[in-house]
Structure formats: structure tokens, C-alpha cells
Copies of this chain bind each other. A is one copy, B any other.
């Protein structure tokens, strides 16, 4: 059943692609990749870096039941599972690929017939209305989604701009057609998550409102303005919160045609008579600032009722981004590559009104002066490859993102750079202060447009901030002690890496023009301090067992210790086996700690070849079996640089082999084609880099490690008229091993590339052979 659906859907996808220009690259994007099982991507409409992700929700299982966490909710991080039989509506905000969730704001659902709430499928009461849908009718492309809802017999088409969603519903003949607006619906929803909501009917075709939610984003404001192409003949509200105090509003019948309602659990219905095949269009502007802001966004971005024009514009926006990397590869590889590129360019998301106003981390409204504000920073994931990819390809956006992080720092009461932030909220998910490597990477790679002294100050203040997990102990002991703080070994390793990048930032600031001598002297001194801190990985590496292991505050090692059985015992999203390789800032030192090159290679080989039994697999978070090679876990980020570590030994061919293996087996053109959460594009960014033959093992430095490219040829527009041409010479598909690499006619003598060199453009030739 699952396979059949997959084939049908793929078929439609290909058929629909034929309509496009033959040079089109958007036709290679299959937004369904990752929408089944662990990928947690969504198939709906979004534009590059857009605030709005308008997508179908197949279900929104509650986050908690009777106050207890409900693990089933995890499947619905993006609101959608490809093989679900029903759809509950179309909401405007979704994360792409996360492993915890929120959003699902402002759900619309067209229905026909009576307004009785559907009791739901399988006893799930989470949503009000639900319809089965025709899987063969479902089509998704960049900036567009289409489906036929069976039960009301309605065609639904969706497209989007940065801040708006655009719906086109084709109704059957009925004098009881309705469009439902559900302000209670949400992803990772629970009773009480919506703190307050408001609807205001301005005219018979314009409605505004907002809601304030709690949850992962503790205080999140979403305002909307919604325009209908056809006047509704009547409307009404439901407020399911029996406890809400109505005051003197009770003198009105607020259920029917009364123009406003405030409450906790609100739904509205807008009623129409429709002819057979009649289209009703709905444009929805979103804002985190105000209803007026949402309306301004709507007026600015969708001034007409031309759905197809908006769809074309969304497509062109994607086309423009995708065309920056033109590859030669098999059709299947192109689908995988361009879908990965598509998933790489969704987050961070623009987070400000067209006026430049945005809601800051302190919940107040701010004006972005001189930069565009972004949100959705899943930094523990994305500092590794996604941000380095943006640093390479999108220097202006990266500068904006750095400015956004600095504004966050300024506004945060904790004086912290973001950890995992979204929609004006810090959710504190995961560990480390990985805003630092993102800023350091931007700085050392020459990106400007932000105040470097301020950036340095923000990074230092963050890295010495005693509010944050274990920083006090880390600064005192040189490691985070497990008896006081869990995940201590992971945290220690990541702090040490972050500190290294902070030292690089300090050095870059010390050398920079346009800062005072005082700043330079200060930066130089701080560089030394943090370079020393970057050695702290040594404090958690037990050379007697050859692994990183958690340590107690008295200096003793935590007992017992089984490196395979340490997930949750000193480590997070990984075990000691995986994390012991997490010293990207000093791979030679790691090799020495592991007993020298030979033993290191042996050790690394065994990671890929050992058998992980079911008990240990069960402890691995967020991944499917296909995401494993032995004990190597591609679905979790701490492993992402690991295949490239052979480059620091005499056997870089093993890097080439493993990278090819991962690219070929763990990225597939299928709804379940991702082996773990895409994590806001980090998994996809890993693929893009690796498919192009190089990878940033240590962001914050300018070095890329060479792997083994998947593409036959590529042309990468680097901006400012510079182009990097990749050529891959090989006889057979099986030729995956590098014989030599030439850059602008010169043979490389080591398997590394320099950022500044790449930026100049030119030709990079990979000569591949069978061994």
C-alpha cells in the first residue's frame, strides 16, 4: 500500500514537471522527500527563507495527554505523514525537519455540509474537521501544493509568498459551503497552549486576528489578515473554553454574525453558496507584530487575486536560487540534489513585516535598522553545514543572520546568543553556544555588514554566561561534571569546539581594520584565553579506555562505562563512540589521544563495521535503521564530520568510500527518503556539500575537507561574477576514489581546499578511479 502510493505520487510529480521549461530546476524538487517516517519535512508551499510555510496537516496528535508527554506526537513535527489517510486542514507555519516542534498556526479547512465537529479518526480528538483525500491528486512543487479532498469534494491549491499564504478552493455545488478558520489547532498542541486568541470581522470579505501561544515558543504571537475573493453570506464562531468569563459580552449572541470574539479555543466558519466548480480564493497575511502589520504584508505581497501569478512568482524565486548550482548527474540524483538544496533554503526564515518591524526575543516589537531579521535558528544542527553553506553562497543573508543573532543577544535578558530560537522565542533546545561558530565562520570567511566588536562581545558574554548549562563549572574545572549536569561530556566537547571558533573570531577581530587599538588588544587577549579553553576536550578524554567519557566534579570518571551504552549518560543524541570523534578543531590531537594514526584508523573503521544490536539501536534517537552504518549514525548531527576524518590520515580513500556510501544509501527520492530529521536543512546541506566533493569539517576555519563528488559536473555561481566549475573525470559509476584534484590547473597536494581560493572561482577537477 505504502509503496503503491509512492509510485503514483512520483508519477504525478514527473508528469507535472513536464509542463515546465526544459531548463527548469524546480521540476527536480520533490517536496515529498522526507515527509514519511523520520524526515519531518512538509510538502506544502514556501518560498526561499519565507516566514510562511503553508502546508497540509494530516494530523496533530496532542503533545501531552493528561499532562504526560505523548511520544506519538513526534511523528507530526511537521504536521504531516505521507501515508496518513486524512487531512485536517492547511496551516501556515511549519518547521522543516525538526525533532521537536511547535507552529501549525492559522489553520484553514474548506468543508461542505453541516458544521458538526468531526469526532476524528482513531479516537484522536485533536482536530475539528477531517477529510480523506485522493493520494493520486496530491502534487507538490516548490511554492505550490495541490490535493483533492474526498469528502467535501473540494480541490485545494496552495501557494505562498514570504509572509503570505494563498489558497484556491474549488467547491462543488452547495448552499452549505464553508471555510473553517481554526485558531486552536497547532502542532505539538496541548490544552491551554493557546493562551489567548482574537478574531475581528472587518467586512464580509476581510478578517483579522491573532493568537498567543505557549509551548516550545513560550510566548509566541501570530497575527493574521485574511481576505476572501467572494463575500461570505454569514459567519459564526465557536469558543470551546467553558471557563472563559464572558462579562457583559453575554448580551450578544457572539456565535452568529457578531464581528469579534476573544477566547482560548476559537474556531470560525465563513459560509457560502457555491456553484459547481466555483473557486473561492483566500489570501492570508501573517505577522508577528500586529494585525495591521499582517494586513500591510498582505497588501504588499499579494496585491491581486491572481493565484497563478503568485504561484509563478514563487516558482521563479526558487528557480533563481536553484539555478545558482547547475549540476550534471542522473535524473534521480538531480531530484535528490535539488530537493536537498530546496530543503537547505527554507530556514532560517525571514521574520519581520514589510515595514521592518519584528517581535524580538523580549516579546516587544523592534525595528530592524539596516538588516533583515531572520528566525528559526536550530544552531546545534545547522552550524555544522547549513550555515557554512549559506556563508559560501549567501554572504548577504549570512550577514543579516548574524545581525539577527546580535539583536537577539541585545534583547535577551540572559545576554545569550540564540541556542535554538524561533518566532521571537528562545526554546533552549540542545546544548552548546553554537551561535559563536556561525559568527566566527562568517567573520573568518570575510563576511562583513555587522559590528565585529559587538559580535565579539556577544560571543564572549555568551561563552562566559553563568546562566547557561554548566558554564560556571566548565570555567572552573575545565569540563562539565556529570554529577551536576547531564550530557556533560557532549557539552564539554562542544564548548571546547565553540571556544576554538571564538578564538578564531578574536584573532580575526584583532587583525581587522575599522576597530580601535584597544579593541584589537582586547581581542588578542581573549583569543589566547579561548584558545586555551578549546583544549578542554582533553579533560574528558580517558586515554586509558580510548574514549571520551563523563567525569564527576571531583575529577573521577563516571562508572560504569560502556561506550556503546552512554546515550543519556553523559551524551546526547549520540554515545561515547560517536562523540569521541568530536574534536574537529584539532584532529591531529584527537588521533594522538586515540593512540596514533594506526590505532585511530582501526578505531574509525570499526565504527563503520561493528554491529549495533537492537538494544543499542533502540537508544539511538531520531533515526531509522537505514541511517546507520555499523555504529555510525548519520541521522544525528554529531557524526556528520566523522566520515571526513580519514583525510587527516594516510587513508583518505576511506573518506571517499564512506561519503559515497552515505550519499547513495541515505538520500533517496522517496517520501521516506531521509534517514533522520532533516533538522532545518542540516542533513540536506551535508548532502549538497558532499555531492559537490567537499565539506566544512571545522566551521570557524577556512578549510574544507575533500570527499568524493556525486555530480558529474557542476557550475556554482558565487556572486560578484565569480563561478566555480566542478568537473569530475571518471570511467565508470564505480569510480569513486580520488586519483588527483586540480584547482585552476594546479594539483592539490593534500585533500583540503581553502575558502578564499574557492571564492575566486575557476575550475576544480576531480579525477576519480576505481581504487
The answer to whether A214 has its CB under 8 Å from any CB of chain B is yes
Partner of A193, one of B67, B190, B245, B364: B245
How far, in angstroms, from A196 to B200 measured CA to CA in the complex? 21
A427: chain B residues within 8 A (beta carbon)? 247-248
Partner of A245, one of B190, B247, B291, B420: B190
A469: chain B residues within 8 A (beta carbon)? 251
Contact A291 B259 (CB under 8 A): no
Contact A243 B67 (CB under 8 A): yes
The answer to whether A365 has its CB under 8 Å from any CB of chain B is yes
A748: chain B residues within 8 A (beta carbon)? none
Number of copies: 2
Contact A195 B192 (CB under 8 A): no
Chain A interface size, as a band, is: 35 or more
Contact B200 A362 (CB under 8 A): yes
The answer to whether A369 has its CB under 8 Å from any CB of chain B is no
Interface string of A190-202 (1 = CB under 8 A from B): 1011011010111
- Given that A219-B198, A365-B290 are known contacts, is A214 also in contact with B245, CB under 8 Å in the complex? yes
The answer to whether A527 has its CB under 8 Å from any CB of chain B is no
How far, in angstroms, from A674 to B362 measured CA to CA in the complex? 45
The answer to whether A244 has its CB under 8 Å from any CB of chain B is yes
Question: How distant is A9 from chain B, measured CB to nearest CB, in Å?
Answer: 35
Interface string of A354-374 (1 = CB under 8 A from B): 000000001111000000000
Contact B413 A260 (CB under 8 A): yes
Question: How distant is A567 from chain B, measured CB to nearest CB, in Å?
Answer: 18
Question: How distant is A508 from chain B, measured CB to nearest CB, in Å?
Answer: 30
Contacting B at CB under 8 A, from A275-303, are: 290-292
How far, in angstroms, from A145 to B149 measured CA to CA in the complex? 67
Contact B192 A364 (CB under 8 A): no
| Smallest Cβ-Cβ distance to A219: which chain B residue | B262
| Smallest Cβ-Cβ distance to A295: which chain B residue | B364
A249: chain B residues within 8 A (beta carbon)? 218, 428
The answer to whether A515 has its CB under 8 Å from any CB of chain B is no
- Given that A364-B291, A365-B290, A413-B259 are known contacts, is A247 also in contact with B198, CB under 8 Å in the complex? no
- Given that A200-B413, A259-B413, A467-B252 are known contacts, is A247 also in contact with B195, CB under 8 Å in the complex? no
A202: chain B residues within 8 A (beta carbon)? 413
The answer to whether A212 has its CB under 8 Å from any CB of chain B is yes
How far, in angstroms, from A429 to B248 measured CA to CA in the complex? 6
How far, in angstroms, from A567 to B64 measured CA to CA in the complex? 50
The answer to whether A95 has its CB under 8 Å from any CB of chain B is no
How far, in angstroms, from A214 to B243 measured CA to CA in the complex? 12
Question: How distant is A544 from chain B, measured CB to nearest CB, in Å?
Answer: 31
The answer to whether A90 has its CB under 8 Å from any CB of chain B is no
- Given that A414-B259, A414-B260 are known contacts, is A364 also in contact with B245, CB under 8 Å in the complex? no
Most buried by B among A248, A365, A420: A248
- Given that A214-B244, A215-B247 are known contacts, is A364 also in contact with B292, CB under 8 Å in the complex? yes
- Given that A198-B363, A365-B290, A413-B202 are known contacts, is A247 also in contact with B218, CB under 8 Å in the complex? yes
The answer to whether A522 has its CB under 8 Å from any CB of chain B is no
How far, in angstroms, from A297 to B25 measured CA to CA in the complex? 54
- Given that A212-B212, A259-B413 are known contacts, is A428 also in contact with B247, CB under 8 Å in the complex? yes
Contact B362 A218 (CB under 8 A): no
A365: chain B residues within 8 A (beta carbon)? 290, 365
The answer to whether A258 has its CB under 8 Å from any CB of chain B is yes
How far, in angstroms, from A429 to B469 measured CA to CA in the complex? 51
Question: How distant is A491 from chain B, measured CB to nearest CB, in Å?
Answer: 11
Question: How distant is A718 from chain B, measured CB to nearest CB, in Å?
Answer: 38
The answer to whether A577 has its CB under 8 Å from any CB of chain B is no
Given contacts A215-B245, A291-B362, 7 further A-B contacts (CB under 8 A): A64-B245, A67-B243, A196-B196, A248-B429, A252-B467, A290-B364, A291-B364
A-B contact pairs, 20 of them (CB 8 A): A67-B243, A190-B245, A193-B245, A196-B214, A196-B219, A198-B219, A202-B413, A208-B362, A210-B363, A212-B212, A215-B245, A247-B427, A248-B428, A249-B428, A251-B428, A259-B414, A260-B414, A290-B364, A291-B362, A292-B364
The list of the 4 closest CB pairs from A to B, nearest first, reads A259-B413, A248-B428, A260-B413, A200-B413
